[in-house]
Structure 1
Amino acid sequence: MENQPAPWDMLYKNLFVSNNTFTILSDGFDILLANVERLVKDANLLKDTDGYMTASFLGSTAREEMAKVHILIDACRLNFSRHESVLKRLCRAYYSHIAKYAYYNVLSLPRLGNMEEVKEMWENDVKKWWPSAPESGEPDMPHDTKYLREMPLYVDYSDWDGCWYSPQRENGSLHKSARLYSIKCAEEELALFRITHNAGLYKEESLSIINEIYMKQYVNENTKMERIYSLYGNVANQIEKRLAIPKEKFINSFITKWPLYPFVENF
């Protein structure tokens, strides 16, 4: 019996071995926006009925769906024929909870000053396990996705506490405030995603311009900020010139984020 094709291999084939890549991606951004709006709406309904544990899971899931937007925009920054291996890694990241967490977390940090700092934060965010130091008295720490995706839903036995963990027992105002933070972040990110979408910046013509300009420069941790700003400025100018979308809308959009593709390994 033949092995089932891996979903990331099929994603690469369907999106990037195609003459309609930008049309397919543009349709995908439409659907992702609708799904994020649904998830955030459902999260708020649950939050208002005190189902904040499940609501926090939906908030984190909404952020992961928006991380897919960043992953696909990263793909648009690449040369589809020359950068096949990087595109395939991005397609694997599309299905990885850890990679999507790293995308939305790194891109939400306000004070990163250069690509070296971005790489450092990325490497922290994809680390799957944080062993404790014996003198700290703290337990070993799994990846944050366990806290965000598993603990709101599942019963498990806690080796550190020596008892069963249940989502229903996690209560108190501090726990609730921490859990609702994912919904607050999702709402803020959704607002900018929606503005960017409504401006027409996810249309195939816009995506084509991003690709045309960015594909000539493969960025990495050594790329200077001036060069990244220059690339975005060139894209903004061409979008305004060709599509009559004011360049300020692009500069302040959900698209003008750090390129993370050079740091993505196989997940």
Structure 2
Amino acid sequence: MTGRDAADRTAIGDRRLESPETVFRLAFGGYLGTLVAGLATVAVVRADAAPAAVTGALAAVGFSVGTLAGVALARRSRGLAARLGRSWRRQTAVLSPAAPFGLVAGAAWLGWLEPRVGLVGLGAMFAVAITGYVAMRLAETCYVASLTADDPVARWQWTPPRSPKLDVIVLALWLLLGAANAYTGEWASAIVWTGLAVVWACTSLAEGRWRIGSVGETPEVRVHDAGLVKQRPYTQSIVLWSDISRVQLRKGELVLERGLFDVRFERDQLADLEAAQTAIKQRLDAARADANVE
């Protein structure tokens, strides 16, 4: 498989999905649809302008319209995913629309709005944040793919940090709390605990702590001309060479120093740390030499 094929396709057994751009369009559409549906539902409930059935129908229409508009926008705006995934500031901006819904929930908790408006705002906050997070991580994956069309200089199989038992216990606990609160009619608490459980599941999949059977790419670390890529089953990220100040082995760990956010690999995650250090250091030195020439 060439470097471009590895970047542009996701393996599922013997089948392959479309490029990350296509998956991002669907996720971005779902994100925009959730945002529109949330805004419409809060407005209708706040105005007390329709019964529950009509409110639900309006939310469904808003979601459908927003999703179609989001997919169309992502398709027409070439490179949108790569632009959004280029920096953490742009990625964070995708999550920012969830904040106003949180303010609505807070205002209801303080008694400034009706409780049902607060419940809708709370649910919309989690829904927008979760769909935004998925779109954000896929945008980052598209950005990495745009930088790494070349064949990797070196690659090693990698085991992302994980604690399966703890992850399952936390997820089960939050779901149980959500169900218990829903049973007793404490809907705000039920939404919070269930929302946290979904957030935990999404981050576990995105970070590679969980994997659905053999679905997805085999986790690995790759050395490219642009930087060091961490390939997870469903997402990938990159550390640019310009961001790394030093590479060293320290107490059984391979450490890529980059200020407050060092990248670390333990021996049970990346078996041949010495070979990885040598290859990464050589490419880092080459990148610095190229930068000095320019």
| TM-score bracket for this pair, using the shorter chain length | 0.3 to 0.5
Q: Which structure's CA Rg is the greater one?
A: 2
Normalization by structure 2: what TM-score? 0.32
Higher RCO, 1 vs 2 (CA within 8 Å, ≥6 residues apart) = 1
- Structure with the largest fraction of strand: 2
